[in-house]
Structure 1
Amino acid sequence: MKTVSDAYDSYAQARAAVAAIEKAGIPSSDVSIIANRHVEPAYAEGDAVSDTAAGAGLGGVVGGGAGLLAGIGLLAIPGLGPVVAAGWLAATAVGAAAGVAAGGLVGALIGSGVEKEVAAVQAEAVRRGATLVTARVPDTEVARIEGLMSVHRPIDPAERARSWRDKGWTTFDPESPAYRPNETEIERMRREWRDDGMGKQA
């Protein structure tokens, strides 16, 4: 088994990736999703996000019927704080001891076989509002699952790291405060949320 892991700027992209992975025959027990509840665009208010609204209403928005998404809930991951998550990686990250140098999510990713640099970028992406999708897949299925996940436009870890480093970022710091988006970022997320169809409730 190998771990395939991608971070998405939009929750809807990540949700679609999870659906594609499960449709491809990967059991829900081998898939994980972790989203930063603080920047869920459906609950953006001004230049911060309403924690009360996020905690009370996220279940209806981020759920998705059967499979992994049906079990999504709020968890506290060392180094990240409260996130919306489900699956094996989330459970591993929560179980990681607080104070581990790499942080709960980074340690869980590295322990599952993700390269250290990629793990740091993906954890930072979640801190900044992205959604991480991770799957344990048979070696023979890696290329196929990576292809399915790439259709939904994940971030490029190397490109994202370069962009952040230009602004002074060095690596994921579990001691950093929760990231709060500015007004421009919130408006961008609102547009993505609408464009991805998340505003259309059944």
Structure 2
Amino acid sequence: MRTVTGLFDDYGDARDAVTDLEAAGVPSDDISIVANNTGDWYSTDSSNAAEGAGTGAGLGAAGGGVIGLLTGLRLMAIPGVGPVVAAGWLAATAAGAAAGAVAGGAAGGIIGALTESGVHEEDAHVYAEGIRRGGTLVTARVDDSLVLQAEAILQQRDRVDPAARRSIYAEEGWSRFDDNADPYTLEQVQRERERYRAMMP
């Protein structure tokens, strides 16, 4: 088994990548998605966010009736990131950390889970920061025979180049994700999304 990962600036691209991975034969249990939900983008029931529960009904509807992983989305909070919607094995690690089951906080849980599954630590920090700034992370554990196809799926759906994004963050003085940092406000997230949208060819 190998881990393939993609950070997406656009939730729709991430959602489509999940659908494509499932269609390619990657089991839903081996895929995770974590999306920044500042501003309650993906759910119409904000009371569920306060409870750290919910089904992500608004997000599922946005997926046009997609079945599989996306039907299991739930709302939670990650220190340093803020509110997210998440599903899958990586989200379960974050949920356990948020509940105090894992020392070091939920963001540390995500970074730890990524690095333990083979993601380079520098990239894991970029991915966590990317979620903080409004992005969506898709991570899949795939059989060796599906690695090239899974990588191609993520690339075709416009995943972020982590080295290029790290350079952009570094120009602002960033070096690594800090789970003690304040989550981005809605205005900051919107500004980040516009910024990267403007960079698209």
Task: Determine the structure 2 residue equivalent to 1:59.
Answer: 56
Post-superposition Cα deviations, 1:7-62, rounded to whole Å, max 9, x if no partner, equal: 1001101000000000001111111100111156579xxxxxx9949949993431
Hey, what's the Cα distance between the residues in 1 that align with 2:70 and 2:153?
18
Q: Which amino acid aligns with 1:2?
A: R
Task: Determine the structure 2 residue equivalent to 1:76.
Answer: 77
Task: Determine the structure 2 residue equivalent to 1:200.
Answer: none
Hey, what's the Cα distance between the residues in 1 that align with 2:193 and 2:90?
30
Q: Check conservation: 1:2, 1:137, Cα contact below 8 A.
A: yes
Q: CA deviation at 1:101?
A: 10
Verify: 1:146 aligned to 2:151, yes or no: yes
Hey, what's the Cα distance between the residues in 2 that align with 1:81 and 1:75?
8
Task: Determine the structure 1 residue equivalent to 2:169.
Answer: 164
Q: Secondary structure at the match of 2:5?
A: strand
Hey, what's the Cα distance between the residues in 2 that align with 1:77 and 1:136?
22
Q: Check conservation: 1:39, 1:129, Cα contact below 8 A.
A: no
How many residues in Structure 1 have an aligned counterpart in Structure 2? 185
Verify: 1:112 aligned to 2:125, yes or no: no
Task: Determine the structure 1 residue equivalent to 2:184.
Answer: 179
Q: Check conservation: 1:78, 1:93, Cα contact below 8 A.
A: no
Q: Which amino acid aligns with 2:88?
A: G
> In terms of mean alpha carbon deviation, does 135-144 or 75-84 score higher?
75-84
- The 1:61–1:100 alpha-carbon spacing in structure 2 relative to 1, beyond 3 Å, is closer
- The 1:41–1:95 alpha-carbon spacing in structure 2 relative to 1, beyond 3 Å, is closer
What percent of counterpart residues are identical? 48
- The 1:24–1:162 alpha-carbon spacing in structure 2 relative to 1, beyond 3 Å, is same
Q: CA deviation at 1:108?
A: 1.4
Q: Secondary structure at the match of 2:178?
A: coil
Task: Determine the structure 2 residue equivalent to 1:195.
Answer: none
RMSD over aligned Cα atoms:
3.1
User: Structure 2, unaligned stretches of length 5 or more?
Assistant: none
Q: Secondary structure at the match of 2:56?
A: helix
* Correspondence 1:88-99 to 2 at 5 A: 88-96=89-97, 97-99=102-104
Post-superposition Cα deviations, 1:162-202, rounded to whole Å, max 9, x if no partner, equal: 1111111111111111112437627839x89xxxxxxxxxx
Q: Which amino acid aligns with 1:83?
A: V
Task: Determine the structure 2 residue equivalent to 1:128.
Answer: 133
Q: Could you list the runs of 4 or more consecutive aligned residues of structure 1 that deviate by over 4 angstroms after TM superposition?
A: 39-43, 53-58
Q: Check conservation: 1:31, 1:134, Cα contact below 8 A.
A: yes
Q: CA deviation at 1:83?
A: 1.4
TM-score, normalised via structure 1 length? 0.79
> In terms of mean alpha carbon deviation, does 158-167 or 94-103 score higher?
94-103
Hey, what's the Cα distance between the residues in 2 that align with 1:129 and 1:72?
17
Q: Check conservation: 2:126, 2:166, Cα contact below 8 A.
A: yes
TM-score, normalised via structure 2 length? 0.80
Q: Check conservation: 2:55, 2:72, Cα contact below 8 A.
A: no
Hey, what's the Cα distance between the residues in 1 that align with 2:42 and 2:77?
21
User: Structure 1, unaligned stretches of length 5 or more?
Assistant: 44-49, 193-202
